[in-house]
Amino acid sequence: MNIVIVESPAKAKTINKYLGSDYEVFASYGHVRDLPSKNGSVDPDEDFAMSWAVDGKSSKRLADIAKAVKGADRLILATDPDREGEAISWHMLEVLRAKKALTDKPVQRVVFNAITRDAVLDAMKHPREIDADLVDAYLARRALDYLVGFTLSPVLWRKLPGARSAGRVQSVALRLVCDRENEIEIFVPREYWSVAVTLETVANAQFVARVVNFDGKRITRLDIPDETMARRVETALKAGDYRIASIEAKPVRRNPPPPFTTSTLQQEASRKLGFSSARTMQVAQRLYEDGRITYMRTDGVDVAPEALAATRATIGKDFGPRYVPEQARHYKVKAKNAQEAHEAIRPTDPSTSPASLRSLEADQARLYELIWKRLLASQMAAAEIERTTVEIEAGGGDKVGLRATGQVIRFDGFLTLYQEGRDEESDEDDANRLPPMTEGENLSERGIAVDQHFTEPPPRYTEATLIKKMEELGIGRPSTYTSTLSVLRDRDYVRLEKRQLIPEDKGRLVTAFLSSFFKRYVEYDFTAELEEKLDKISNGDIAWKDVLREFWNQFSADVGDTKDLRVSEVLEALNELLAPHVFPKPADGGDPRQCPSCATGKLSLKLGKFGAFIGCSNYPECRFTRQLATNGENGDSAELGADGVRELGQDPETGLAVTVRTGRFGPYLQLGEPTEEEKKPKRASLPKGWSPATIELEQALSLLALPREVGLHPETNTVITAGIGRYGPFVLHDGTYANLDSVDEVFSVGLNRAVSVLAEKRAGGGRGRGRATPKALKTLGDHPTAGGAITVRDGKYGPYVNHGKINATLPKDVPPEEVTMNVALELLAAKAKKGGAKPKATKAKTTKAKTTKAKTATKAKATKAKAKPKADAAEPAAKSS
């Protein structure tokens, strides 16, 4: 018996179909070991010794694999054909050796770029040894990421409370996002005007020409700065005739783009399908495991000769011989530090059209079609375009020159199948079609458009454009792009809004801190040079520990230099670096750092238990505070005064002023001002979605009046109230909280509705603050084998799939409305294997557990009182990307 090990059960299932009964395929479920999240897992003092720990979920699987290997004739490691795949095979080998499962059995490593019968069987005929250089590159990368994350993160916790982690790649990616936001904030719009004329030929065909010369000077986009000059140009145009001075038709060939790499697939799937990078890789993984496409983590653009031949044959069959170029196209990667060991991402069989794969799920079908079209287009003939430029003279006292451009597609070539998406709008003139005209022809004016414009700041990064930028700079690799973006969102350093990456204040603080005190490690060139060294390790050119020593000697010294750094120094550096963001210039031109409350204090960043905020230097005499930014994206704070306060009116009952303010924990309402009798006036936080810039007095009074009495419960004759709490809007009766659907319902819910939701809550989960069973967002149907409905629900911690007593959380990138039965079954099966449906503890066991827990807590409390707290134990170390 031959034992084959792959990463995923889906891959194992597919390969099992291709191999005979002499083979048994096991799945490792990814990496089986990792560096423990604690200090000392990588020890620079012991020549960078690495302590690995087996994942708790992997222990039983490894025991089963070891048992099978002991009775086998041969072990075949068939993990993915990249650095991570090589590392998984190495880890498996190390674990099996430790378990003494191998003895003298032969161990072979096989790789295939596609999970097809021919590829798998051919790989089995050409086994090799584990690539030690690839493993060394993995070890170096993993050690570097660990050392940066576990050395730098504690510095952040001590000097910048509220920061979560830093990382070798994630911090540089975060800097890109923050730097772009800085550019947007300091951008000053520039006014300019355009003048365009609608002209008509003698054949009564119309087209538009733009002014390019005036008064003997060339006019570019920004050269008409104001309306005065624009009107001068308009006057000159109206004074004379129009004549075609010259026509130039220039043939142009447009070549197709290369087939997909990981980066370009993520970019194009974002632009054309609206997929996040994580969703793209998830769908591509399933297509790969089903044998539909080649391996999806690659930055190579080569295509195997047999696939090229099949692609060209398919083009000839479907589009005709003119669309097949004489020679097959071969591409070179332009990205910095690209590794071209693997093929581009392509269909395993180019002749299999998307229309013929009716069994694919919707997202798989869409992504497969994109990959298939891109491959075919990459081998099709170039498009032949005629680009025409028409120069026009306008008479009058001031000579004016105009130009019209357009193009005609003489042969569509690859454009008949595929046109690459664009992040920015393409030049409109390029797409214009010009009517037939002749040199010297007189034209008639049919309208002059004089328009005002303002330059716009650079656009925020999307996931696609950030990945493109990282690739251009040589930061990260195909396998890291998605995880890096996920870490930035999970750490609350950036948020994704309308597909744009917007840095949170927490992320900007971390970037400013690192740029001030660890500048070298967030520089783009430094990170790219380190990536080059890691690539040299994988090529066997340099020793991995030499790279680690060189890095660690400088890095540990730089970290040591911050040991005596005072928090006040950190804050002053951040005040300076983040000034345009946290201290925007007031409209009256005054000092942006002058306290608006006491007028004598100076505003500065402050660090609190829950992160950073702005406070007055005269604290505690002056207690003015506000959030970091006062110019929110949606104008939420823009309408507030310079002191962060907007008066809405007076409360008719008390005569006190009702104001909306911005504080360290967000916008809130306040009734009156502090007095000797009442030092803390009544306040109410604004619910999510309510804007401090648009809230009116009536809404504010309703919010300040909460909790609201709904009525008396008909069974108990006791009061039901409605309010907004930590977990959202609710109704409360006799200790039972039941959630309402929206904040608005708090102010309108009637007695019948309140009694109904309370009854549902009690029927679904008893009393107290616990949530009722969430309503089903979507019903997928009955389980095909076990029976019973499978539903998608929205729970406290996000949407999940439910079947009976098993709940499986949806991945972040999978919208609830897009979940299919197949996806749900996979998630439920995986959760069931992990123990998703645990039996309830008996009363006796529960009582015993509570007693044990109480004793343990008492003992721990006593121990804690005696123990001396450790400075670095504030929170567990976080993994870096």
Q: Cα–Cα–Cα angle for 220, 221, 225, nearest 5°?
A: 100
Assign a CATH topology to domain 262-381: Topoisomerase I; domain 4 (1.10.290)
CA end-to-end span of the chain: 39
Task: Give residue-wise pLDDT tens across range 637-661.
Answer: 444 554 567 788 888 888 888 988 8
Length of the chain in terms of residues written: 881
Return the structure tokens found at 189.
């719009």
Of 172-181, 312-321, 444-453, 651-660, least confident by mean pLDDT is 651-660
Over residues 519-543, mean pLDDT: 88
Task: Give residue-wise pLDDT tens across range 126-136.
Answer: 999 999 999 99
Q: What is the 3-state secondary structure (H, E, C) of 200-244?
A: ECCCCCEEEEEEEEECCEECCCCCCCCHHHHHHHHHHHHHCCEEE
Q: Cα–Cα–Cα angle for 130, 135, 136, nearest 5°?
A: 135
Cis peptide before 161 (omega within 30 of 0): no
Over residues 723-746, mean pLDDT: 87
Confidence of residue 802 (pLDDT cuts 50, 70, 90): confident
Query: Do 2 and 127 form a contact (C-beta atoms < 8 A)?
Result: no
pLDDT at 356 over 80: yes
Which alpha helices (DSSP H) does 644-785 contain, by range? 697-704, 743-748, 751-765
Site of tokens 């395993």: 348
What sign results for the dihedral spanned by CA atoms 127, 129, 133, 136? positive
Tell me what pLDDT residue 163 has: 67
Tell me what pLDDT residue 186 has: 86
pLDDT at 542 over 70: yes
pLDDT at 595 over 80: yes
Query: Do 463 and 476 form a contact (C-beta atoms < 8 A)?
Result: no
Confidence of residue 378 (pLDDT cuts 50, 70, 90): very high
Largest CA distance in the chain: 103
Confidence of residue 836 (pLDDT cuts 50, 70, 90): low
Query: Do 286 and 364 form a contact (C-beta atoms < 8 A)?
Result: yes
Q: Pick from 51-55, 106-110, 830-834, 874-878 the range whose average pLDDT is largest.
A: 106-110
Confirm whether pTM is higher than 0.85.
Answer: no
Query: Do 642 and 586 form a contact (C-beta atoms < 8 A)?
Result: yes
> If you compute the radius of gyration of the chain from its CA atoms, what whole number of angstroms results?
33
Nearest CA to 119 among 13, 26, 265, 14? 14
Fill in the amino acid letter for 761.
K
Q: Cα–Cα–Cα angle for 72, 75, 77, nearest 5°?
A: 150
Query: Do 284 and 265 form a contact (C-beta atoms < 8 A)?
Result: yes
**Could you count the other beta carbons within 10 Å of the beta carbon of residue 203?**
9
Site of tokens 């004379």: 240
Respond yes or no: is residue 295 known to be catalytic.
yes
Assign a CATH topology to domain 2-130: Rossmann fold (3.40.50)
Fill in the amino acid letter for 487.
V
Mean pLDDT of the chain: 83
What sign results for the dihedral spanned by CA atoms 787, 793, 797, 798? positive
Query: Do 731 and 740 form a contact (C-beta atoms < 8 A)?
Result: yes
Tell me what pLDDT residue 710 has: 93
Query: Do 375 and 259 form a contact (C-beta atoms < 8 A)?
Result: yes
What is the C-alpha to C-alpha distance for residues 478 and 445, in angstroms, rounded to an integer?
55
Tell me what pLDDT residue 880 has: 35
Task: Give residue-wise pLDDT tens across range 143-171.
Answer: 998 998 888 888 887 777 666 678 888 89
Tell me what pLDDT residue 793 has: 84
Return the structure tokens found at 550.
């060189």
Q: Tell me the domain boundaries of the chain.
A: 2-130, 166-187+459-567, 191-255+384-454, 262-381, 592-672, 708-765, 776-833
Active-site option among 288, 295, 418, 521: 295
Site of tokens 């042969």: 411
Nearest CA to 352 among 331, 374, 369? 369
What is the C-alpha to C-alpha distance for residues 242 and 238, in angstroms, rounded to an integer?
10
Q: What is the CATH number of domain 191-255+384-454?
A: 2.70.20.10
Assign a CATH topology to domain 166-187+459-567: Topoisomerase I; domain 2 (1.10.460)
HSE-up (13 A, CA, CB side) for residue 77: 26
Over residues 38-58, mean pLDDT: 88
